[in-house]
Structure 1
Amino acid sequence: MTSLPFIFTTLINLLLVNSQQFSISEQTTLLNLKQKWGNPPSLTNWNNTSSSSPCNWAEITCNSNGSVTRLNLQTKGLTGAIPRFICELQNLQSIILADNYLTGEFPRVLYNCSKLTQLDISQNAFVGKLPDDIDRLSQLEYVDFGGNNFTGDIPPAIGTLSSLMYLQLYLNLFDGFIPSEIGNLSSLEVLGLAYNGFANPEIPPEFGKLRRLRKLWMPQTNLVGKIPDSFANLSDLELLDLSSNKLEGEIPSGLFLLKNLSQLYLYKNSLSGKIPSVIESVKLVEIDVSMNQLTGIIPEEFGKLQQLEVMNLFSNQLSGNIPTSISSIPKLRIFRVFRNNLSGELPSEMGLHSKLEAFEVSENRLTGKLPESLCGGGTLFVVVAFSNNLTGEIPRSLQSCNKLHTIQLYDNSFTGEFPSGIWSLYNLASLRISGNLLSGKLPKRLAWNLSRLEISDNKFSGRIPEGISSWKKLNVFKASNNLLSGEIPIGLTNLSQLSVLYLDGNSLSGELPSTIRSWSSLTTLNLARNKLSGQIPPGITDLPHLLDLDLSENQFSGKIPPQLSSLRLTTLNLSSNNLTGRIPYALDNLAYENSFLNNPNLCASSPIRNMHNCYAGSTKSSHSNKFLHKIIAMIVVLSAFVILVAILCILFIFRGYLKKKQKLDLTTWKLTSFHTLKFTEANILCCLTDNNLIGSGGSGKVYQIEIGRHGEYVAVKRIWNTRKIDQTLEKEFLSEVQILGSIRHSNIVKLLCCFSSEDSKLLVYEYMENQSLDKWLHGKKMKTNRGLVHHRVLDWPKRLQIAIGAAQGLCYMHHDCSPPIIHRDVKSSNILLDSEFKARIADFGLAKILTKPKPGQANTMAAIAGSFGYIPPEYAYSTTITERVDVYSFGVVLLELVTGKEPHAGDSETNLAEWTWKHFSEGKSMVEALDPEIKQANCYMEEISLVFKLGLICTSTVPSSRPSMKEVLEILRRCDSPSSEERKVGEEIDVAPLLRRESYLSNYRRNGNKVAHQSIDILDGRL
C-alpha cells in the first residue's frame, strides 16, 4: 500500500512530460509556419524560449490540454502558400488567415485538418476554382472565402456541408452558376454571394428552404428573372439585399409578411408592378426599392412600420399622393421619393413626429405648401423639392434649423418674402431657389460655409450690399433675371473663391470696379442686360482662369482692352454696347463674328459679319503709297505665275510617269468597298509617300491623303512587311475588316474600303482632323490642317464630350451588337477626334467577337492583348475574355482625361490606375490629382469629381466589381445633361453603389486583388 503514492506521482509526471512534449511539437510547427510565411515582423513574439508557450501568444488559443485549437493570423503580412504541415496541429478547429498576401489555388492541404469548423481565408489572392470535393471539410460551420480571385462555378458539393451556418463567397471572379444545392444547408444563417459575375443566374427557388437564414447578401451578381415566391418561407430573414441586378416582375407580397425583416434592398433592378399593400414586417428599419419600374401608389400601410428609419422609393413610376400615415412614423430619418409621378399635397405633419434628416421629393407633380414642421426634430440636413408645383411661402420654421446643409427648392411657384434667417443658417452650404416668385433683399451676411447661392428668376430687389465682402466661401453666385439695382460694390470683387458669377438681366448701373484681381478663381462672368457704363476695366484681363465673358446689352464705351486677347476664352459677347475703335488683332477673326454686334463705332480688319472695315474711308494722302503697293504686288504675282508654270510642266511630265506605273500596279490590288466612294484606287496608291505620312506603329504606317479639291481627306493604314504579311498582321487585318465592315455607329471610325495585294494591306478610313486623344493630352504640340495647335485648348467640356462619345461606341459594341464585340485595345491613342472633337473608337486589329462558347467552355485568348498601362490585372491569372476588359481600359482613359497623366505614369512601382487608387485610398484631395489645365474649372468640379470616381470604379482589380459600359454611359450622360448645373446632391446615388463595391480595397492594391479586411457588419452596411 505504501507504494501507491509513488506510483500515482510517477503517472502524473509521465503525463506532464507527454503534455510538455506535445506542446513542444506544436510549438515547432508554429515556428515553421512563421518561417514559411516570410517571418513577418508582426510575429516577433513567436520564439522557442522555454518561457514562451504558444498558448500565451496572442494569436493562439489552446484547449485545457495545452493543444492549439484556434489560429488567428488576420492582417499579419503573411506571404506565400498554406503549407501542408499546418494540419500537424491535430486539434485545430479554427483557422483565420484573412487580409494577408497568401496566393495559390484553394489549399487542399486543409483536408487533413479533420476537426476544422471555422475557415476564413478572405481578402487574399487565391486563384482558380473551388474544388468539387470541398465537402471533405465536413465539419465546417463558418466559411469566408470572400475577396479573392476564385473563378468558375461554385461546386454543388458545398450544399452537403450540413453543419454550415455562415458562408461568404463575395467579391470573387465566379462566372458560372449558383448551385441550387445551397438550399439544402438547413443550418445556414448568413449567405453572401455579392459582387460576382455569375452567368445570368436566376435565384434558385430552393433558397426558400433556408428557414434559419438571417442575411442574404447578393447585390451585383447578374441576377435575372423573378424573386422567388418561396422567399415568403424565410421566417428568420433580417437582411435581404438583391440590389443592382437585372431582376424583373413584381415584388412578392410575402416579403412584407416576414416579421423579422429589418433591411430590404432591391434598388437598381427592373422590378415592376405595385408595392405590396399588406405589411407585417414590424421590424423593418430600411427599405430601398429605388431605381426600378414600380407603379401604383405608396401604400398607406407603410405608416405601420414604426421602426422604419430609411425609405428610398425614388426613380420609379409611382403615382398618387404621399400617404399622411408616413408622417407619423416615429423613427423616420431618410425620406426619398424624388423622380416619380407623385401628385397632391405633402403631408402637413411631415417631420413633426420624427427626427427627419433628409427630405427629397423633387421631380414630381406635387402641389400645395412645404410642411411647416419639416424641421420639427431639429435634425433636418437636406431639403430637396425642386421641379414641382409647390406654392405658398417658404416655411419660417426653417430659419431655426441650424443643421440644414442643402436647400434645393428651385423651379416651383413659391411666393412671398424669403425668410431672412435662412441666409445665415450656420451649416448651410448650398441654397438653390431659382425659378420662383420670391422677393426680398440680399443680406449683408451669409452662412459662413455657403459656397453655392442660386436665386435667379425671382423678384429680389435693391442693391447688392457692400457687406457682400463677408461672403468669403462663395463659389457659385447666380442671381440672373431679378430686380437688383445700383452699382456693383467693390466688396463683390474681394470674393477670391468665386468661380461663377451671373448677374445678367437686372438693373445694375454705374461702372465696373477697376480692381478685380481678387477674382483669381473666376471662370464665368455674365453681366449682360443691365445698365452698366464706363470702360471695360483692363483688370479683367488679369483673371487667369476666365473662360466665359458676357457683357452684352449694356452701355460700355471706349476701346476693347487689347490684353483681352491673352485670355483663353471659350465664349465672348460684347454685343449691344457703345464700344469704339478697332477690335484687338487676336479677336479679329470669324471665330468671334457674333461677339461684337451692334457696336456702331467698332471696326474690324477682317470681314466680320455686320462690322465695317477699319480701312474704309482712308484719306487721299495715302493714294501714292497704295499705288506703290499695287506695283509691288503685280511684280510678285507675275513672278509667282512664271514659277507656277514651270512647276506645272514638271508635274505634267511626272504625272504621266505615275499614271503608267499605277496602271501596272492596279492589276495586283483587290478592292473591297463598304461605303460609296468618292475616289479611285489610283487616288490612294499614288499618294502613299512620306510627305503624307502622319503616324506609324508596330503594324505599319498611316497616311493622310487628299481626295478632293475642297480639303477632303481620308486616312490610310498600310499593314505590310518587307517580306510577306506575317500571320499576326494578317489576323489583325481580317479582324479589322470583319468588324468595321459590318457595324455602323457614329462613334466608331468608318472603314470606307480596303485594298489587298500579295505583300500589303490597305485600310481606308474617314479622316479625323484632330487626330488621336493622346496627342491632345500628352503631346506638347500636334499638327492639324490648320497649323500647330497646343494641347492645352482641351478644356473640360470637350473632355467630357470625348468621354461620352467613346463610351457610346463601346456601349454599342458590348450591348447592341449580336454577338458582342470586345475591343481589347482601348486607349487614348485609339480614340480619334473629328473637327468638332466628336470621338470615334478606332483600331480593331485586336478586337474579338464573343461567339457563344460550347457548353463547359469560355471565351479565351491565347496571348495577352493590349497596351501597357491599360491591361487589366486579371490577365496575370486568367485567359477568359469578357467585356470588363474594355471597361478597365476605358477607366484608365477617364483617369487620363481627369489627371492629364500618361497611362504608365504612376510612380516607380505603379501605373496610372494603381497610383490613382493609392492617392484616393490615402484620403488625399482629388484636386491634387487633377490636370492643371482643368484644376481651376470650379464650375465643373462636380462633374470632374464624378468622372474621377467613375474612373476608379472602372479600374477595379475585380472584373465583377466594374460597371458595364451601359452603366458607365448612363453616368457620363447625367454629367452632360442640359440641367447639369441644376443637378442635386442626390444625383450622386448613381455612383454610390459602384463605389460601395470598392470600399473594401486596402490602402493600395497589393498582389493584383488585395482587399482590406472588414467585418461582415461593415460589408452589410449602407454607403
Structure 2
Amino acid sequence: MAANSLLLLLLSLLISSFTTATSQTEQQILLQIKKDFNNPPSLSSWNTTSTSHCEWTGIQCTNGSVTGISLSDQNITYPIPHTICNLSNLAYLDLSWNYLPGSFPTSLYNCNNLQYLDISQNLFVGSIPSTINRLSNKLYHLSLSSNNFTGDIPSSIGQLSALQYLLLDNNLFNGTYPAELGNLLNLEHLWLASNPFLPSQIPAEFGSMSSLSFLWMASTNLHGSIPDTFGKLQNLVQLDLSMNSLSGRIPEGIWMLKKLERIYLYHNQLSGAISDTKVGAQGLTQVDLSMNNLTGSIPAGFGKLQNLTLLSLYYNQLSGEIPAEIGLLPSLTNLKLFSNKLTGVLPPELGKHSNLWNLEVDDNSLSGELPQFLCSRGNFTSLVVFNNNFTGKLPSSLATCNTLNNLMVQNNNFYGQMPAGLWSTAVNLTTVIMHHNSFSGTLPEELPSNLTRLEIQVNRFSGNIPSAAQKLAVFKASENLFNGTIPANLGSFSSLQILYLGGNKLSGEIPNSISSLRFLTQFNLSSNRLSGDIPANIGSLRVLNTLDLSDNQLTGSIPVSLGNMKLNILNLSSNDLSGEVPVQLQNQAYDYSFVSNPSLCSSNPQINIRICRGKSSGSVNLSTGLLILFIILGALFFIGAVVLGFFVLREYRKRKLNNDRKSWKMTSFHLGELNESNIAKGLTNENLIGSGGAGFVYKIVLGRRTGETIAVKRICNSRKMDSKLEKEFQAEVQILGSIRHANIVKLLCCISSPNSKLLVYEYMENGSLDAWLHSKRRTRGPLAVGGEPGQPETLDWPARLAIAVGAAKGLCYMHHGCSVPIVHRDVKASNILLDSEFNAKIADFGLARMLVKAGEPESVSVVAGSFGYMAPECGWSSKVNEKVDIFSFGVVLLELTTGREANHGDEHSCLADWAWKNFKEGGSLINLIDEKIRDPAYTDEIELVLRLGIICTGSVPEHRPSMKEVLQVLQRCERSFENRGSKSPEGGENDVAPLVGVKGGGGYGDDSCV
C-alpha cells in the first residue's frame, strides 16, 4: 500500500513538473509571437508579470495548455510568425480584421491540431498554393474572406475532407474554382461570392455535397443553367446565385427541397415559367427571383408557403392574375411584384392575416379597388401602386394606420376624399404622391409633422392651402381647385424646396414672407388670380432656379433684385406688369419670359416685347461713363485690399502653424517613414494645390532620394465652424483608418492639435475624374488630393470604363464588404481620384456615415451632398441609405458616357433629368453619347452603361440596383469588348445587352436635382 502511495506521489510530481515546464515554454512562445508582431499595444497584457499566460488577451487554454488564440481586430500589421505552430495543442486561430500582409501563410501547415482558422479581412495577396491540402486534416473551418487573393482556387482544397465551413468570398480570384469541391461531403457552408472568376458554369458535382446548407455564389460570373443535381441537396437551407448570367429554367427539384428557407436568384437571365405543382419547399421564408426573364403566371403554390415573409418577383415578364391564396399567407410581410404584366385585382384579403408592411405592385395593369385590410394588423408602412388602372377610394383602414410612412398611388383612377382621420393619424407619414387621379376634398390646416413630400397635382382638391408644414420639402398641388390666398406665414414651411401651386383659383398678393423659404429652388404660381406687386425680396432666394408667375394679374414693375438671381427658368408672361425689364434680364435666355405684358418694355430688341422710348443718347453715354469710372475705382480698391489681406493672412497662418507644431500628435494607419516634422515643413504656400470649405490641400515631397509624395488636407478650427469640422474630421478618420481597398484612397496617418487637423493621404498623380472629363486639369477642385496634368489629353472609352469599374469596386466594398456598411453621401466625379496609371479611387469621406445595421437608414441632421448628384430623397427625408450613393454614381456614369457635367443637362434640367427625358421620348441613345468617344467599336457598351446610369438615377430608391449589381454589369461590359469577336457559350456574340433595360413608367426622372 505504501509503495503504491509513493508511486502515485512521484507520478503526480512528474505530471506537475511537466505541466509547469510546458506552461513556461508556451509563455516564452507567446512572448516571441508578440515580439514578431512588433509588440502591438493591444497585447500589452502579454508580459511576465501576469500570473498565467492563460489569462492574457485572446488566449484560450484547456487544462493549462494553449488551445486557442483569438486576436481579431487588434491592429496587427506584421506577418503571422512561424513560431505560432510551436504551440502544439493549438486548435483555434482567429486573426481576422487586422492588417496582416504577404501571401498565404504556409507556415500554418505545421499546426498539426488546427481545427479552426480565420484570417479574413486582412491584406493577403497572391494565389492560394496548390499544397493547401497540407493543412491539418482536422480543419473544419477555413475563412479567407475579404482579402486580395487572386488566381485559381486549387483542386487540392477538395482533399480537406473534414471541412464544414469554406469561406472564400470577397477576394480577387480571377481564375476558376474546381469541381473537386464536390468531394467535400461534410461541407455545410460554401461562400464564393463577389469574386471576378472567369465565366463558367456551376459544376454538376456541387450537387454531391450532401451536407451543404448554405451556398453563396452571388456575383461570381456564372452562366449557363442551374444543374439539375441541385435537387439532391436535401440539407440546403439558403441558395444565393444572384447577380450572375444564369439562363434557362429553374430546376423543378429545387422547389421540392424540404429544408430550403431562402432562395435568391435575382438579377440573372432565367426564363420560362415556374411549375405551379412543384412548389413543395414548405419551409421557404424568402423568395427573390426579381430582375430575370420569367414568364407565365405567379404559381398558386406560393400561396401554400405558410412561413413565407418575402416574395420578390419584380422586373420580370409575369402575366395573369395574382393568386388570391397569397392574401391568406400568415407570415407575409413584404410583397414586391412591380414592373411585370400582371392583370386583375389584388388579393382581397391581403394584409388581413399577416403583419404586412410593404406592398409594391407599381407598373402593371392591375385594376379594381385596393384591399380593405392592408393595415388591419397595424404594421403597414409603404403602399406603392402607381401606374396601374386601380379605381375606387383608398381603403378606410388607412385612416387608423399610424405606421404608414410612404403612399405612392399616382397615375391611377382613384377618386373621393382621403380616408377620414388619415392626416392626423399617420404621424410617421413622410411621402404622399397621388398626382393624376380624381381625389377631392380639402387638406388640413396643418399637415403631418413628418411629411416631407406631398404631390397631389392634377386632382380635384379644393379649399385653402395648409398654413403649416415644418418638414415639407416638396409641395406640388398644381391643377386642382384650391382657392383663397397663399398663407401669409410661410415661415412654417422653412424646409420647402419645391412649391407648385399653378392652375388653381388662388387670389390676393404673394406674401412678403416668401423670403423665409431660403431653400426654395422651384416656385410656380402660374395660372391663378394673384394680384399686386412681385415682392422684391424674392431676389434674396439665392438657390432659386425656377420662377413661374405667369398668367396672373400681377402689377407694378419687375424687381431689380430678380436680375441678380441665377434662374434657369423665368416666366412672368400674361400679367399687367409695367416699366423696363431689369437690364440683367434683358438677354435671349429670357426672350419669351415677359410676353403679354402690354406695359413692359426693353432696351434690347431681341426680347419679345416693345422697345423702351424716350432715352437720349447723351444720357446713356453719361451714365455709361460714370459706370466705367466707378468700376475702375472699385477695382483698384479691391486689388489693394486683396494684396493687404494676403500679407496679413500669410503672417497669421505662419504664426498659427508654428504654434500648432508644438502640440501635434500623430496616429499612423499604414507602415511608412512619416513624422510630424517632415510633414509640417511642407505646409507652405508653394505646396498649396487646393482649398475649400474644409481647409487646404498640400502636395509634399518627403525626400529627394525616395521621391515619396503625399497629399495633406489641413482642417483649421474656427469658432463658427469648430463643431462641424470636428465631426467631418472624426468621420473621415474613423472610416478611412478602418477600411482597406485598392480602390479607396489610402489614409496614411492623421495628426491632431488643438487648432488644426491634418489628414495625410497617398498622392494621386492624375487628379480627379472631374478634371479630366470637363477640362479642369489646371484648376483642381478643393478636395482633389493631388493631381498633375498628363497624357492623354482626353480619356477614351476603355479608360473611362476602367475608371467606372474601379470606382464601383470601391463603393461595392463600402456597401457590401465592410462588417458595418458605409454610405459615402458625396459621390461625385471630383471625389473619384486617379493614380499614375489612371486607377480610380474613392476619396473624401467627410460626409460619410457608418450605418448601425445593414439595410436600416440612418438619420442625418442636415442635407449633405452636391448639386446635380444628390438623390431626390436627400431633399425631403432625414433617412438615407446606400441608395443615395447609387444615384450619385449613376450621375457619374452619365458624365462618363455623355461628357456633360452633373448639373448641365439642358437649359431646364440637370443631367439626370435630361437623360431620363431623352430616354422617355424614345429617341436614339447614341445621340446622347459624348462625341469624343463615339466609336462604332464601343457603341454597344457605351449605350449599355448609359442605360445603367439612367436606372441608377431613378427617383424611387427601392428601384435602384445595388452596388454589387452595378459592378457586375460594368465588369461584364468591360469583358465584352476585351473578348471582341468571340462567341458566348450560348452562341450569341454579345451577352451584355440584355442585362440593362429601363422599364417604362414614371419611376425615374422626377426632381432628380433636388
TM-score by length of 1: 0.68
Deviation of 1:3 (Å): 4.8
Deviation at 1:68, TM superposition (A): 1.7
**Aligned-partner Cα distance in 1 for 2:356–2:523:** 38
**Counterparts of 2:516 and 2:439, CA distance in 1:** 31
CA distance in 1, matches of 2:828, 2:797: 32
> Could you say which residue in structure 2 is the equivalent of 1:512?
510
Aligned mates of 1:116, 1:532 — CA distance in 2? 82
- AA of the residue aligned to 2:37: W
**Aligned AA for 1:608?**
Q
Shift of 1:541: 1.2
Could you say which residue in structure 1 is the equivalent of 2:499?
501
1:162-207 deviations in Å (ceiling 9; x for gaps)? 1111100011000111211101111111000011111112111111
Q: Determine if contact 1:888/1:954 at 8 Å carries over to the other structure.
A: no
Equivalence for 1:884: 805
Q: How does 1:132-531 map to 2 (within 5 A)?
A: 132-137=130-135, 138-277=137-276, 278-424=278-424, 425-465=426-466, 468-469=467-468, 471-531=469-529
CA drift at 1:563: 0.8
Deviations 1:928-974 (A, max 9, x none): 7534898899886789985645668999xxxxxxxx98886445313
Checking the alignment, whether the CA contact within 8 Å between 2:869 and 2:888 is kept in structure 1 is: no
Q: Is the 8 A contact 1:117 1:142 kept in 2?
A: yes
**Given that residues 521 and 936 in structure 1 are in contact (C-alpha distance below 8 angstroms), is that contact kept between their aligned partners in structure 2?**
no
Q: How many Å apart are 1:913 and its aligned residue?
A: 2.6
In structure 1, the residue matched to 2:58 is 59
* Structure 1 residue aligned with 2:90: 92
8 A Cα contact 1:901 1:931, kept in partner: no
Give the aligned partner of residue 773 of structure 2.
Answer: 831
Q: Say which of 935, 950, 954 aligns to 1:973.
A: 950
Equivalences for residues 611-650 of structure 1 within 5 A: 611-615=609-613, 618=614
Alpha-carbon spacing, 1:195–1:478, altered in 2? closer, same or farther (3 Å): same
For the structure 1 residues 189 and 623, does the alpha-carbon distance in structure 2 shift closer, same or farther, using more than 3 Å as the test? Answer: closer
Q: Judge conservation of contact 1:484–1:508 (CA < 8 Å) in 2.
A: yes
Aligned AA for 1:292? N
Retained in 2: the 8 A contact 1:494–1:519?
A: no
Larger relative contact order, structure 1 or 2 (CA cutoff 8 Å, min sep 6): 1
1:282-325 Cα deviation digits (max 9, x unpaired): 10000000111111100111111001011111111110000000
Is contact 2:883-2:957 (8 Å) kept?
no
1:737-761 deviation digits (Å, cap 9, x = unpaired): xxxxxxxxxxxxxxxxxxxxxxxxx
Amino acid at match of 1:76: Q
Bigger radius of gyration: 1
Paired with 2:230 and 2:891, the residues of 1 have a C-alpha distance of 33
CA distance in 2, matches of 1:166, 1:890: 28
Summarize the Cα distance change of 1:159–1:46 in structure 2 as closer, same or farther, 3 Å threshold: same
Alpha-carbon distance in structure 1 between the residues aligned to 2:767 and 2:617: 65
* Aligned partner letter, 2:845: T
1:984 paired with 2:938, answer no
> Structure 1 pair 846/568, CA: closer, same or farther in 2 (3 Å)?
closer
Q: 1:47 maps to which residue?
A: 47
Instruction: Give me the CA root mean square deviation.
Output: 3.9
Residues 480 and 502 of structure 1 are in contact (CA less than 8 Å); yes or no, is this contact kept in structure 2? yes
Given that 2:767 and 2:833 are in contact with CA atoms closer than 8 Å, whether structure 1 keeps it comes out as no
Choose the corresponding residue for 2:604, options 583, 606, 616: 606
Identity of aligned residues (%): 41
| Contact residue 256 and residue 276 of structure 1 kept, 8 A | no
Q: Distance in 1 between matches of 2:188 and 2:113?
A: 21
- Measured in 2, the distance between the counterparts of 1:460 and 1:498 equals 20
Q: Which residue of 2 aligns with 1:712?
A: none
1:585-984 correspondence runs (5 A): 585-615=583-613, 618=614, 827-832=769-774, 844=792, 884-885=805-806, 913-916=842-845, 919-921=848-850, 925=860, 930-931=865-866, 946=883, 948-949=885-886, 969-974=946-951, 983-984=955-956
Deviations 1:399-451 (A, max 9, x none): 00110100111110011222232222111111111111111011122221011
SS at match of 1:353: coil
Distance 1:84 1:996 in 2: 39
SS of equivalent to 2:578 = strand
> 1:902 Cα deviation (Å)?
6.2
Match of residue 554 from structure 1: 552
| C-alpha separation in 1, matches of 2:967 and 2:850 | 12
- Give deviations 1:893-936, integer Å, cap 9, x for gaps: x9898568666799xxxx98343288333879595753489889
- One-letter amino acid matched to 2:435: S
| Distance (whole Å) between structure 2 residues aligned to residue 954 and residue 84 of structure 1 | 50
Count of residues paired in the alignment: 751
Partner residue, 2:705: none
* CA distances 1:566-618 after superposition (whole Å, capped 9, x unpaired): 11111101111111110100000111101111111111111224311113xx4
Structure 1 letter corresponding to 2:239: L
Correspondence for 1:806: none
SS at match of 2:563: helix
Measure the CA separation in 1 of the matches of 2:327 and 2:859: 41
SS at match of 1:91: coil
Q: Are the equivalent residues in 1 in contact too, given 2:806–2:841 (CA < 8 A)?
A: no
Equivalent residue letter for 1:98: S
Identify the residue that residue 32 of structure 2 maps to in structure 1. 32
**CA separation in 2, counterparts of 1:900 and 1:777?**
18
Q: 1:125 to 1:236 in 2, by over 3 A?
A: same
Structure 1 match to 2:22: 22
Determine helix, strand or coil for the equivalent of 1:104.
coil
- Specify the code of the residue in structure 1 equivalent to 2:20: Q
Specify the SS of the correspondent of 2:429.
coil
User: How big is the shift at 1:75?
Assistant: 1.8
**Residue pair 2:473, 2:875 contacting (<8 A) in 1 also:** no
Structure 1 residue ranges without an equivalent (≥5): 633-773, 781-823, 835-840, 851-865, 873-880, 956-963, 998-1023
Q: What secondary structure, in the 3-state scheme, does the structure 2 residue paired with 1:303 have?
A: helix
State the shift of 1:368 in Å: 0.2
Aligned-partner SS, 1:128: strand
SS at match of 2:366: strand
Aligned partners of 1:585, 1:848: CA distance in 2, in Å?
43
Distance 2:496 2:804 in 1: 43
CA offsets 1:353-379 (integer angstroms, 9 cap, x no match): 111010111110000000001112111
Q: Is the 8 A contact 1:499 1:523 kept in 2?
A: yes
Aligned position for 2:100: 102
Separation in structure 1 between the aligned mates of residue 809 and residue 790 of structure 2, nearest angstrom: 17
- Whether contact under 8 Å (2:490, 2:516) holds in the other structure is no
Q: 1:919, 1:305 → 2: CA distance?
A: 41
Distance 1:234 1:221, change over 3 A: same
**Match of 1:355, as an amino acid?**
N
Compared CA separation, residues 87 and 287, structure 1 to 2 (3 A): same
Structure 2 residue ranges without an equivalent (≥5):
626-689, 697-765, 777-788, 814-822, 852-857, 893-940, 970-1010
